[in-house]
């Protein structure tokens, strides 16, 4: 079929899949830039928005680290906006499946909202409002961080949904995945998302070193010697890490114990296991290096990859339909 025609189809379209993969790959530097901007506290390198010092090409932004981080984040976000619009156009013109078209529309909506949240975070910061506290700005920043995870999840779904394995039901399943396994996948995905939410609150509160030891909170004890908001949110993040690890180990062990899912999802299972242990190590290393900005940023990025991989496994499990034999 001619790719220039606008007839919708539910068949595999290589160029659409390639576009989804490109958009998915592009979000990686955006997540890194956003995480690094937070790690070095560069979110207010420019006091205006949507321009930076009144320009798309502000003076000296490439030679000052805080300006480079924040302006790169803005530019990469703008490109994601254009990519999401392009993806919506392609899917709307060529994709027959209604859920794909709806998901593409939601993607654009969330990306636009992300831009607004980023701008609100700047507009409501104490440097602009002259207020004593910036709880409103920090709240916008936390929602902005979680919104980025939603964008990532939508791109994962669109990429998998446009793949040949999904469309032609060649995912390797020989029988449907049990409902209990699907529920474990959903629960694990939600647990990781909540952990990222707690981590975002901790980062915005600058509480990453509120408990400056690891694995102990103080000599001889896993519990802090005193409590305040910073210590509480930091401790909640540690407890959340334990809960996420338990959820994932149970979920992955169930996937591995089932020959059907082990065969079909073995690469994803191994990926999640690897990311989980890397993430735990990076969390400890963030404290051991006294919150080195590069370590903290990679910790943030690997957390996003862990969420994406777990969500991908769960999403694929819901497509575990055995193809009908050809006659």
Q: How many CB atoms lie within 10 A of CB 326?
A: 4
pLDDT at 18: 95
| pLDDT, average across residues 227-249 | 97
Tell which wins on pLDDT, 131 or 317: 317
Backbone angles phi, psi at 171, to 5 degrees: -80, -5
Q: What pTM was computed for the model?
A: 0.91
Per DSSP, the three-state class of 95 is strand
Dig out the tokens for 270 from the structure. 């191994």
Would you place residue 137 in the very low, low, confident or very high pLDDT band (cuts 50, 70, 90)? confident
Dig out the tokens for 119 from the structure. 């701008």
Per DSSP, the three-state class of 52 is strand
Q: Tell me 163's DSSP state.
A: S
What digits encode the pLDDT tens for the residues 30-48? 999 999 999 999 988 998 9
Alpha carbon distances (Å) from 251 to 120, 179, 247, 303, 307 = 38, 12, 6, 17, 14
What digits encode the pLDDT tens for the residues 268-299? 999 999 999 999 999 999 999 999 999 999 99
Distance separating alpha carbons of residues 311 and 117, to the nearest angstrom:
24
Tell which wins on pLDDT, 132 or 106: 106
pLDDT above 60 for 57: yes
Largest pairwise CA distance in the chain = 74
Would you kindly state where each structural domain of the chain is located, as residue ranges?
12-168, 173-327
Contacts of 11 (CB under 8 A, 6+ apart): 167
**Residue 220 φ/ψ region, left for φ over 0, alpha for ψ in the -120 to 50 degree band, beta for the rest:** left
Tell which wins on pLDDT, 41 or 131: 41
pLDDT above 90 for 7: no
Would you place residue 321 in the very low, low, confident or very high pLDDT band (cuts 50, 70, 90)? low
pLDDT at 318: 81
pLDDT at 129: 60
pLDDT at 322: 53
């Amino acid at each position: 079929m001619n790719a220039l025609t606008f007839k919708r189809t539910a068949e595999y379209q290589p160029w659409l899949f390639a576009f989804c993969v490109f958009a998915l790959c592009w979000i990686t530097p955006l997540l890194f830039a956003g995480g690094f901007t937070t790690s070095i506290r560069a979110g207010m390198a420019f006091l205006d928005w949507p321009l930076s010092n009144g320009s798309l090409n502000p003076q000296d932004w490439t030679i000052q680290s805080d300006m480079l981080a924040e302006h790169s984040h803005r530019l990469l976000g703008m490109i994601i906006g254009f990519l999401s619009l392009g993806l919506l156009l392609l899917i709307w013109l060529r994709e027959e499946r209604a859920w794909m078209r709806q998901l593409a529309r939601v993607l654009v909506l969330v990306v636009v909202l992300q831009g607004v949240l980023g701008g609100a975070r700047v507009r409501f910061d104490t440097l602009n409002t002259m207020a004593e506290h910036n709880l409103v700005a920090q709240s916008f920043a936390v929602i902005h961080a979680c919104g980025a995870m939603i964008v990532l999840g939508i791109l994962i779904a669109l990429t998998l949904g446009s793949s040949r394995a999904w469309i032609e039901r060649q995912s390797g399943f020989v029988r449907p995945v049990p409902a209990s396994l699907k529920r474990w996948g959903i629960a694990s995905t939600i647990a990781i998302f909540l952990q990222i939410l707690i981590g975002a609150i901790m980062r915005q509160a600058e509480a990453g070193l509120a408990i400056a030891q690891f694995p102990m909170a103080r000599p001889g004890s896993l519990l802090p010697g005193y409590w305040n908001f910073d210590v509480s949110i930091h401790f909640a993040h540690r407890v959340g890490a334990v809960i996420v690890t338990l959820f994932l180990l149970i979920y992955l062990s169930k996937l591995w114990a089932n020959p059907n899912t082990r065969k079909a999802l073995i690469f994803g299972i191994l990926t999640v296991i690897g990311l989980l242990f890397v993430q735990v190590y990076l969390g400890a290393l963030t404290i051991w290096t006294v919150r080195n900005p590069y370590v903290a940023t990679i910790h943030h990025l690997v957390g996003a990859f862990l969420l994406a991989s777990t969500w991908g496994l769960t999403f694929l499990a819901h497509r575990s339909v055995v193809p009908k034999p050809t006659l």
